[in-house]
Each structure stands twice: as C-alpha cells, then as structure tokens.
Amino acid sequence: MKFTLGDGWNLKLFLALCRRYGLKPYRKRGQRRTTVILMVVPGFANEILWPEFTQLAEALGTYLNEATERIIREEVFKDTDEPEEGRA
C-alpha cells in the first residue's frame, strides 16, 4: 500500500508507528520524501494502522501548535493574534 503524508512531522510519526508494528516502510527511487510504501494487509492498515495514525497525528498537531504559540509569545512578542483584515 502507498501512503502520502502531508509534512515531515506526520512522516516521522507514521514511520515510527509502522516500525512499532514491525513493518518496514520504504520508498521507490524518485518518489517524494513524504511517500511511503508498506507491504501490509489492507485490513490491518485500514482498521488499525491508519486510524491510530490519524488520532496520534491530531494530538501531535495540537501539541506542536500550542508549543509554537508559547515559544513565539515568550520569545518574540506576546501578541500572536491573526492579522486584521486589510482595507480596500
């Protein structure tokens, strides 16, 4: 099965999860860095691996967003609000 992950953080998470289950992810020459191929039973991938990955990826995204906000607020500037809409 071929999996395409959106970014480096999700890729690292997916690779770690695959290896935890004893799977050996690989990519073919010329494939993008975010593409991973697994020799895996589709039922396992669809019912266990992918749902667990999406749950962990959501938690990781939340954690990274909170850490980013905190670092910017504490080290750069306290105001991390979105910009105001421009005037036309």
Average pLDDT over residues 5-11: 91
Residue 82 inside a domain? The answer is no
Average pLDDT over residues 16-39: 93
Residue 80 inside a domain? The answer is no
Q: Which run of H or E residues covers position 16?
A: helix 8-20
Residue 87 inside a domain? The answer is no
What's the domain range around 53?
Answer: 2-75
Residue 45 inside a domain? The answer is yes
* Burial grade of 49 (CB within 10 A; 0-12, 13-18, 19 or more): buried
Predicted confidence at residue 88, as pLDDT, reads: 63
Predicted confidence at residue 53, as pLDDT, reads: 96
Residue 81 inside a domain? The answer is no
Number of domain units in the chain: 1
In the predicted structure, residue 55 carries a pLDDT above the cut 90? yes
Residue 23 inside a domain? The answer is yes
Average pLDDT over residues 65-82: 84
Lowest mean pLDDT among 29-38, 42-51, 57-66, 75-84: 75-84
CA-CA-CA-CA torsion for 44, 48, 54, 58, nearest 10 degrees?
-160
The pLDDT-based confidence of 12 (bands split at 50, 70, 90) is: very high
Those residues whose C-beta lies under 8 Å from the C-beta of residue 50, and which sit 6 or more positions away, are none
Residue 83 inside a domain? The answer is no
Residue 84 inside a domain? The answer is no
